[in-house]
Amino acid sequence: MNAETLPTIFVALMALAIVVYAILDGYDLGVGILLPMTPEQEPQRDILIASIGPFWDANETWLVLAVGLMLIAFPAAHSLILMNLYLPVVIMLIGLIMRGVAFDFRAKAAIAHKLAWDRLFKLGSLITTLTQGYMLGAYVTGFQTTTLSLLFCLLSAVGVSAAYCYIGGAWLVLKTEGELQQRAIAWTRTSGRFTALGLIAVSLVNLWLNPNVYDRWLQPPLLMFVLLIPATCILAFVTNEVLLNRLPKPKDRHCGLPFLLVALIFVLSFSGLAFSFYPYIVPGELTIWEAASAPESLSFILIGAVVVIPVILLYTIYSYRVFHGKATQLRYY
């Protein structure tokens, strides 16, 4: 493979890892934010935690994979991005550590302290989503430090947190039943409306801040084709709203459709982002070819990627197959 093709392959693999991470770790972060916090709701919290228990730690594998691919395949971009996002990355890692510690300690702590660890898990989830949204906003604005850029980053932080709640609520619609499922439907409906508003606001501000993005989206000859992305996204939001108003159905039919529709919205949103900035890996700074490692290095790394990524996909699919079905009360033996 030549020096033109290899960076394209690796940026596609990195994009795959980011999208899968956003969907899989996104729902368990969303569940963490949605945890009800009153003492009498402890049984519901246990079921919510049980719904993500077998998966949440492994879901973060995709974040490690994405960062690893960037470090190895695009070291110049990795350095530039971390140089500008060092502080939010550290805060995000603190949030992830808080979640990990709280998840383990809630099962071992005295009953009187269990609520405190649940609160820490919720706080860690919120810190993680807010910082990820902030970093996405900073990336989109090209790491500008103007007041408008900062406001955009804050808007992105809130929007990403709402999106994670949206997919987290949809996951709970799939994994719970009865009264808790009814609450999950309400959570999903509310967070979906906030997500839609946030996505529209972020898209409009992005078009305003980045004239090149405006030209790419709204100029012929690709205009009619690329507008299928937002059109399909809007259709998915509307379909999900209608579906949630009709759930639950007898025998729990269609309970998995909200999650699939939200996952589709995530894929479409990231596709729109990729279309907006390709071939730049750092908007306005570096293209994928400028940031790529030597072709010889990429050829060697590709061999490992071809082995590792299918293995991760297979054990992810296997774990979800093994632990399918409704979540039940946690039991520790």
For residue range 33-66, list pLDDT tens digits in order: 999 988 777 788 889 998 998 888 888 889 999 9
Q: 160 near 129, Cβ under 8 Å?
A: yes
**How many angstroms separate the CA atoms of 261 and 90, rounded?**
32
DSSP notation for 154-206: HHHHHHHHHHHHHHHHHHHHHH--HHHHHHHHHHHHHHHHHHHHHHHHHHHHH
CA distance 35 to 51: 12
Tens-digit pLDDT profile for residues 137-153: 999 888 888 888 899 99
Quick one: DSSP state of residue 251?
A: G
Token pair for 79: 């350095």
The long-range contacts involving 4-9, CB below 8 angstroms and separated by at least 24 positions, are 4/289, 6/292, 6/295, 6/298, 6/299, 6/302, 7/73, 7/74, 7/288, 7/289, 7/291, 7/292, 7/298, 8/288, 9/302
Confidence of residue 132 (pLDDT cuts 50, 70, 90): very high
Model pLDDT for residues 272-301, shown as the tens digit of each residue: 888 888 888 988 888 999 999 888 889 988
Phi (first) and psi of residue 281, to 5 degrees: -95, -25
Using alpha carbons, select from 167, 174, 185 the residue that is nearest to residue 262. Answer: 167
Residue 233 CB coordination number (10 Å): 22
- Residues with Cβ < 8 Å from 209, sequence gap 6 or more? 140, 141, 148, 149, 152
Q: Which two tokens stand for residue 195?
A: 């997500």
| Rounded CA separation 55/82 (Å) | 28
pLDDT tens string 206-230: 878 777 777 777 777 666 677 888 8
Given pLDDT bands bounded at 50, 70 and 90, which one contains residue 330? low
pLDDT at 111: 73
- CA-wise closest residue to 52 among 100, 114, 111: 100
Q: For residue 202, what pLDDT band results from cuts at 50, 70 and 90?
A: confident
